[in-house]
Amino acid sequence: MATFVAIFKDNKNKDQELQFEAADSYTFSDFCMPFNKIVKNFVVEPEEASERAAIKIQVYKLVVENGAIAKKYVGKFRHQLPIRRLESHEYEAKLQSILSELPQSFRAFVSNQSWDRGHSSGYEEVLNIAQEIVSELAPAVKEYRQFLLSVE
């Protein structure tokens, strides 16, 4: 067994060190258990997800050199932080904002389709699907409106 230390920035951008024991042939899974216990409280707000979704971690092996403890670089990796789930009122507000790009007569369809396709993966996925449908449907609706105006 050898002693390793992982250095990373916490959710307040302060340097943190996590010491852990592992076999000499260190693997990512040796580090996951102690690390996940620490970062479970580093929840990222949904609005910040793209900026802070992952943290960079550097791993060093602690060795004794000339009677002093030294850090020998082992490697680095990224860890995806958990993102706080949207609450129902936040979801509803964001969905209404997305649907506002369409005429009222299309909104129920898009809302139902996005819910049917994504609700098992959470509100965020439903919103992603709604945004995809709206982005594909909105240009066609605009073009159809122009056609209807030209026919009159």
Instruction: State the Cα–Cα distance between residues 77 and 41, nearest whole angstrom.
Output: 19
Q: With a cut of 60, say whether residue 137 has pLDDT above it.
A: yes
Task: Name, in order, each residue with C-beta under 8 angstroms of 93's C-beta and a sequence gap of 6 or more.
Answer: none
Return the beta strands (E) in 47-145 as ranges: 54-65, 68-80
User: What DSSP element (H or E) covers 140?
Assistant: helix 123-151
When comparing pLDDT for 130 and 77, which is higher? 130
Instruction: Check: CB of residue 123 under 8 Å from CB of residue 86.
Output: yes
Report the pLDDT value the prediction gives residue 44, as an integer from 0 to 100. 62
Residue with tokens 């964001």: 94
Instruction: Check: CB of residue 99 under 8 Å from CB of residue 126.
Output: no
Percent of the chain scoring above 70 in pLDDT: 76
Q: What is Dmax (Cα atoms) for the chain?
A: 91
**Mean pLDDT, residues 124-133:** 93
When comparing pLDDT for 137 and 34, which is higher? 137
Residues, the chain: 152
